[in-house]
Every structure is written in C-alpha cells, then in structure tokens.
Amino acid sequence: MIELVSQDRCVSCGICVRVCPTQVFDNGAKGIPTIARQEDCQTCFMCEAYCPADALYVAPEADRPVQVDEATLVAEGKLGKYRASLGWGTGRRSTAQEDDSFRILALAARAPTAPPQAPAAPTAPGPRP
Amino acid sequence: MPISAAPVPAPVAKVGDASDALDLVADVLVLGGGPAGTWAAWAAAAAGAKVVLADKGWCGASGATAPSGTGVWHVPPDPVQREEARASRESLGGFLAERLWMDRVLDRTYDNMAQVAAWGYPFPVDEHGQQARRSLQGPEYMRLMRRQVLAAGVRILDHSPALELLKDDYGVAGAAGVERRTGRRWRVQAQAVVIATGGCAFLSKALGCDVLTGDGGLLAAEVGAEFSGMEFSNAYGISPAFASVTKTAFYRYATFYHGDGRVLEGAGSARGRSVIARTLLTEPVYAQLDQAPESLRESLRKSQPNFFLPFDKAGIDPLTQRFPVTMRLEGTVRGTGGIRLVNAECGTGVPGLYAAGDAATRELICGGFTGGGSHNAAWAMSSGYWAGGGAAAHARSLGVNAASRRPIGAGRATLRSAPGSRTLDHAAVVKAVQDEVFPYDRNLFRSTAKLNDSLERLDQLWQAVQDHPEQTARDVVRAREAAAMTATARWMYATARERRETRGMHKHEDFHEQDPAQRRRLVTSGIDRIQVRAESASETSVLAKAAA
Ligand SMILES: Cc1cc2nc3c(=O)[nH]c(=O)nc-3n(C[C@H](O)[C@H](O)[C@H](O)COP(=O)(O)OP(=O)(O)OC[C@H]3O[C@@H](n4cnc5c(N)ncnc54)[C@H](O)[C@@H]3O)c2cc1C
Ligand code: SF4
Ligand code: SF4
C-alpha cells in the first residue's frame, strides 16, 4: 500500500491525486497530497509510475500498512524505481520496446513445461455456421 | 527527518442534488475506460458519434490492464498458425467456444494491433526487423489509449462511476452517476450505452482489480439483460502472499514447496493450481522460479518489470529464493462469465445497450476456460471496437433526438429504498460476500450442498443491500459496489448449481467428470428471482443469426 509522500521531493503537481484509480489521495497543504484513504489503496503502483518527482513509495504489502523510512528508501534507491523501469521520465526511452515476451512465448511453445493433457473428446461436432 | 504523510481525516463529500448536477447530451455513452471502453469510445467517435466516456477511476490508469499489461492473442493470418490458435483452448474450455467468433476476434485483433502500432506504441523488434506484437505493457498501452480517445474528441469524465442506467420506451437512454471527489451528480443522456466496466474480482486486491466490482452487470440486469457463462467465474491468480501482483505467466518456471522445503508434488501454475489451493487451505505454500533457464532470466525482467516490483521492494530474488504465495480471486476478470451478447455488434438484446470486454461473456472465444494470457486482451479490443461501432449506428438510426428524450433512472438496490429503511452498512455486506466467494473450498471446489448453503445467505444479503447508505459520495459508490458484488455472487452460484458436471474452470466435487450431455451454455437472468436456462452453443451462433 501507499506509504510515503516525500515532502522534500514532491513538486505539488497534483498528478497522483488525479491518476490514482481508487482515489486514495487528497490535496493537502501547499499542494502536497495527503494519503487520505490508505485502506482503499489497491497496490497498483500507478501513482509511482506517474509521479515526476519520484516522491511516492508504495510498499509491496497489499493487505496491511507497514512502517517505512524515507532515508532508508532513498539510500536503497527504491524511490522512482518503477518509473525508471518503465522508461518513463525525461531523457528515458520506454522499455516497452525491450519487451521480450515474444521470445519467451516462442520458447515456451517449443518446450511445454507441463505434460500434454488428454482432452475429453467432444461427442458432438463443433458448432458450424 | 523523513516524514510519512500524516493520516488526516478526509473531507467528506456529500452527494449533491439535481440543482448542481452535470448534465450532458451525447450520441454514445461509454461506461468504463479500460481497453474495451477506450476502443469502444474511439470506434464510436470514428463513426461520427458524439461520445462521452465515464470511468470510476482515471481512464488510463484504471482497470485490470493498466497496471498489469497483457499478452495478446495476435496471430498472423496464416492458416496453420490460426488453426493452432483456435484449437489451443478449445478442449480446456469444454468445447463451448465458437470458431466463427474466434476468427472474427483474431482478424479484428490483428488489425487493431496494427492501429496501435500506427499510433506509435513502441513495439519490440525481432531478429528479422519485424515488430513483435504479442504483448502490451499496461501503463504504456493505456496512456496511449487515453491520448487517442481524447484526440478523437471524446469527452472523458474521470472519477465518475456510473450508478444506474437511464431508460425510456425506446430503450436505454444514458446513465447517471456521481463524481467521487466533489459529490456532484452527473447525468448523460445518450442514444446508446456501452457497458465496459470490466469484470468482478470482489475487492480481492488482485492487481488493478479493486475498481472491478461487477457494477456494469448490475446496471445491465436492472434493464433486463442476461448473462452467459456465470458458472465460469472462479479464476484465481497466483501472487506472492504479501503482494497484489497476480501476474502468473512466470510461475510456469516455478517449483512449489511445503514450508519444510519438500517439493509440493503436482503443483503448477497451469494445471496444478488446484493442488496449490488445496494445500493453502491447511498450510503455507512457497514458490521459487528455479526452472527459469539461465538464458531467459534477463528477458523475464525486461518483459514484465511489474512482476519483479514487489520482490525488488521486499528484497527477495524470486529466481534464487523461496517466497510464500497465495491465490487471489479474480472472479469474472480472468473467468469468462458476463453479459450475454445477441449479435455481432455486441448488442445485449436490450435496445440501446451494448457490452464489451470483461463485462461481457467471453465464452464465445474461451468457453469455460480462462481468457487470461491472451484471449481477454484480444476480446477487449475487438468487442470494444464492435460495440462502439454498433452503438454509433444505433444512435444514428433512432430518429429521436437524445435531448428530447425523458428517461428515468433504472437503478434499484441502494438507490431507491423505502422511506424509513435502515442505513446500509456496505462494508459488512462486502465482507459477507467475500466470505462466500473467496474460500477455495467453496468457490474453486464446489458442491451442491455448499452452493445451496452460500446461496441461502447471499439471498438474505440481497435483501439487506436494498437499504440506503449514508449520502456521501464514497458511501453511495461503495454501497452500489456491495450490491453489484452480491448480485454477481448470486448469479455465479445459482448458475454453478445448474451445471452438474466438471467443465472448464467449474470443478464440481459431486460430479468429477465432464458430461457430454451438458455441452451447452447456461444463460442467467433476473435480480430478485434468478432464472437459469440452457442453450446449445450452436443455437447462439450470433453471426449465423446476423447473416440469416
Ligand atoms: C494481473 C492480470 C494480468 C492479466 N494478464 C492478461 C494477459 O496477459 N492477457 C490477457 O488477454 N488478459 C490478461 N488479463 C485480463 C485483462 O487485463 C482484462 O481482460 C482486460 O483488462 C479487460 O479490459 P476491460 O476494458 O474490459 O476492463 P478493465 O481493463 O478492467 O477496465 C474496466 C474499467 O471500468 C471502470 N469501471 C468499473 N466500474 C465502473 C462504473 N460503475 N462506472 C464507470 N466505470 C467503471 C474501471 O475503473 C476500469 O477503468 C489480466 C488480468 C489481470 C488482473
Ligand atoms: S498504488 Fe494505486 S491505488 Fe495505491 S495510491 Fe498508488 S495509484 Fe492509488
Ligand atoms: S505526483 Fe508526485 S510530485 Fe506530483 S503531487 Fe503527487 S507526489 Fe507530488
């Protein structure tokens, strides 16, 4: 769930307030959003993806709040990491163009990991137009 | 000192009255702004219609696709490859799908993906210099779709959940809802409405799914629409136990373990999911993606950055370390049940009402097996495209002016309770519904006795959910969600009770086998009293009907 709006980093653009699908944030003092309804957070990380200032941290725990410490998160390089991995932000290229799913799918099609199952043969022919 | 944002009490937006309502007139109103809704809005606008799109969340970030991303059923028009594609889920789906619909979806998806490329989506390029269009990264795709919809002249109402449809003698004539932040009511009079509100995942916190509470199904049922495939509504997604990320593709490389490190025999992400569920009933289950070939490890990371996100944050390397897993209910999101369609334009049989994406049945292309992994994304963009075009054509053909129609609200539960009724505790209703649909030993492993038992309680809940909630924007929306979840659960179980066999994802403990005599669809209707009837797959061949 969302755990942190960095007061130091936030540039009061209001984007997170807008994009959060479950309306977790409210506009706070000086335009810095507040986490107004943390229990509504669906841990989708979209606010992190959109925040231009890497000011938000969504903890991976989806079902309960956890304590976070901004200095530690900064030291571990955890703020803004998702946005970077999408290739979003000035001077970056979308990583969608490095999406290797097609290679993985091709490999999986050639070497199925699950044994082929014997389907129950249909007794009626498939519907014909 | 680093400061976490202090939890300040949220201001409570009271629901406004009609005097300050936002009143709009359009040809086509689209409810929901995921892939299905954005394709519908774009197609309707391209056909010349004036379009409004209302989303409960923010179109572009909301729904199952935006935070997740999807593999897409994108198959070149080569006979051999197409045949493989059609056959891939036919037996898994219990032979309830229709090849004509598969062909249509494969064709439409192929063209729509070319359109996505033309709009500038940065597809990867293969070793022959060709774009590979097998998957879409969620945030990128939906950001692009929002831009295209706006560029097409569609007016978007964000954070504006629909609460009810409007209707008159001509049929469906728009919808009304509330803007969550301000409490301002909105009302859009339109000649046709597309329901693209996604499936119902019962607030399970599966990735991106908490906006998906089955609202569109309730709206449609209130004007008489039917459902198909509601028994195939028990898809569960694997996620790390602590996290929301129910992206399951990479669990093909997982070995599953007991707590003491022994391998959990028979467990797997595709056909061994029942083993995982059964074990989870009594003990934790762990996974490690230790079967991922070394050569693929970098590819995995590049392909699904969001899969690795919770692990990176929690300091776990899923390739070399074990982590606890759970299975979250995704209901009709990765199940296949939804609003029944009666023609090639995705009409519902109710004049002026169309349905697309997860809100609609996907039995036509998946039968009783999940549409996750490829089919659902293809279906969302195809059915959205058709529904938008169909709605625009209907609007043109009506011959009455939208502004001159005098429709009334068709919504009932939580909206029109008798004076003096009690105040609805929607949170309690939500919890009670979850208690019926979350447990694996109820919803995944079904039996006649358990279904009857759940239905009895769900029917009582349906009575309770008629009351009014507090009149704040949040409560009014939450209450409608509670009602929609209750209704969806009742349709699921009432339909499941009639399928006395095991087929597709519907596993019946009293009837372990697939019964050839039951190779037919189940159609569900009604709100207070639920009816289920059978129809053969070929009988509903919508295209055959349209051609006749
Ligand atoms: C983790 C995950 C991974 C997936 N991976 C794949 C995959 O690889 N391949 C595949 O084919 N499919 C996949 N799926 C399924 C796929 O995401 C869905 O089928 C697809 O998103 C359906 O599109 P949609 O537009 O119908 O619904 P959604 O994308 O869910 O959008 C529905 C929209 O309706 C809005 N809404 C809801 N209620 C209301 C209301 N009352 N009023 C107004 N708006 C409302 C919501 O805010 C949301 O924006 C996956 C699903 C999940 C959860
Ligand atoms: S993680 Fe998703 S739901 Fe939670 S605050 Fe961010 S955008 Fe909102
Ligand atoms: S998106 Fe980031 S910078 Fe903008 S208001 Fe939110 S936290 Fe502040």
Q: How many domains does chain A have?
A: 1
Rounded Cα distance between B429 and B435, Å, is 10
Reported as a single tens digit per residue, the pLDDT across B330-380 is: 999 999 999 999 999 999 999 999 999 999 999 999 999 998 889 999 999
Q: How far apart, in Å, are the Cα atoms of B158 and each of B41, B74, B146, B211?
A: 14, 30, 11, 13
Which ligand places an atom closest to the C-alpha of B159?
1
Mean pLDDT (10-residue bins), chain B, 548 residues: 43 79 96 98 98 98 97 96 93 92 97 98 96 97 98 98 97 97 96 98 98 98 98 96 96 96 93 93 97 92 95 96 98 97 97 98 95 93 98 91 88 86 93 98 97 98 93 95 98 98 96 96 97 82 50
pTM for the complete prediction?
Answer: 0.95
The DSSP H or E segment spanning B396 is helix B375-398
Query: Amino acid identity, residue B50?
Result: K
pLDDT at residue B543, rounded to an integer: 54
Mutate to test the pocket of ligand 3, among A15, A73, A79 (most ligand atoms within 8 A of CB): A15
ipTM (interface pTM): 0.94
Residues of A in contact with B126 (CB under 8 A): 102
Reported as a single tens digit per residue, the pLDDT across B213-238 is: 999 999 999 999 999 999 999 999 99
Cβ count near B275 (within 10 Å): 16
Contact B532, B495 (CB under 8 A): yes
How many helices (DSSP H) and strands (DSSP E) are in chain A? 5, 4
Q: Which residues partner with B409 through β-bridges?
A: B166
Does B67 sit in the ligand 1 pocket, CB within 6 Å? no
Cβ count near B268 (within 10 Å): 19
Chain A (34-73) residues lying within 8 Å, Cβ to Cβ, of chain B? 34-38, 40, 42-46, 49-50, 59-63, 68-71
- Tokens, residue B369: 């097996």
- Tokens, residue B19: 């005097």
Does B361 sit in the ligand 1 pocket, CB within 6 Å? no
Angle in degrees, 0-180, between the axes of helices B473-498 and B426-437, rounded to the nearest 10 = 30
Report residue B289: phi and psi, to 5°.
-85, 55
Q: Which residue, among B493, B489, B474, has the nearest Cα to B433 in the 3D structure?
A: B489
User: Does residue A125 form part of some domain?
Assistant: no
Rounded Cα distance between A63 and B64, Å, is 18
Residue given tokens 């019962």 in the structure block: B202
Q: Using CB atoms within 10 Å of the CB of residue B82, give its burial: 0 to 12 exposed, 13 to 18 middle, 19+ buried.
A: middle
Rounded Cα distance between B274 and B251, Å, is 14
> What is the average pLDDT score of chain A?
87
Angle in degrees, 0-180, between the axes of helices B375-398 and B99-118, rounded to the nearest 10 = 90
For chain B, which domains are there?
18-233+332-409 (3.50.50.60), 235-329 (3.90.700.10), 426-546 (1.20.58.100)
Rounded Cα distance between B340 and B354, Å, is 10
CA-only gyration radius of chain A, Å: 22
In the predicted model, is pLDDT for residue A110 greater than 50? yes
> What sections of B330-374 are H helices per DSSP?
363-366
pLDDT at residue B403, rounded to an integer: 78
Does the beta carbon of A118 lie under 8 angstroms from any beta carbon of chain B? no
User: Does residue A69 form part of some domain?
Assistant: yes
Q: Which residues partner with B538 through β-bridges?
A: none
Task: Determine the length of chain B.
Answer: 548
**Interface test with chain A among B65, B72, B95, by most A beta carbons within 10 Å:** B95
Q: Which residue, among B522, B495, B496, B500, has the nearest Cα to B511 in the 3D structure?
A: B500
C-alpha count within 13 angstroms, C-beta hemisphere, residue B436: 27
Give the model's confidence band at A118: pLDDT under 50 very low, under 70 low, under 90 confident, else very high. Answer: very low
- Contact criterion met (CB < 8 Å) for A127 and B306: no
Give the CATH number for residue A32: 3.30.70.20
- Tokens, residue B249: 């593709």
Does the beta carbon of A7 lie under 8 angstroms from any beta carbon of chain B? yes
Q: In the β-sheet with B531-535, what is the strand arrangement from edge to edge?
A: B338-339, B227-228, B521-525, B531-535
User: Does residue A66 form part of some domain?
Assistant: yes
Rounded Cα distance between B136 and B112, Å, is 12
Rounded Cα distance between B309 and B243, Å, is 10
Chain centroid, CA B48 distance in Å: 28
pLDDT at residue A129, rounded to an integer: 29
Report residue B167: phi and psi, to 5°.
-145, 155
User: Does residue A33 form part of some domain?
Assistant: yes
pLDDT at residue B545, rounded to an integer: 52
pLDDT at residue A91, rounded to an integer: 96
- Contact criterion met (CB < 8 Å) for B243 and A61: yes
Distance from CA of A42 to the nearest CA of B (A): 6
Enclosing domain of residue A26: 2-107
Does the beta carbon of B3 lie under 8 angstroms from any beta carbon of chain A? yes
pLDDT at residue B271, rounded to an integer: 80
Rounded Cα distance between B333 and B125, Å, is 30
Cβ count near B1 (within 10 Å): 5
User: Does residue A13 form part of some domain?
Assistant: yes
Rounded Cα distance between A63 and B525, Å, is 35
Residue given tokens 């490890």 in the structure block: B297
Residues of A in contact with B312 (CB under 8 A): 78, 81
pLDDT at residue B262, rounded to an integer: 97
User: Does residue A31 form part of some domain?
Assistant: yes
Q: Using CB atoms within 10 Å of the CB of residue B472, give its burial: 0 to 12 exposed, 13 to 18 middle, 19+ buried.
A: middle
Report residue B32: phi and psi, to 5°.
105, 135
Pairing mode of beta strands B285-288, B171-178:
unpaired
User: Does residue A48 form part of some domain?
Assistant: yes
Report residue B349: phi and psi, to 5°.
95, -20
- Contact criterion met (CB < 8 Å) for B57 and A22: yes
Rounded Cα distance between A31 and A8, Å, is 13
Reported as a single tens digit per residue, the pLDDT across B77-90 is: 999 999 999 998 89
Contact B24, B2 (CB under 8 A): no
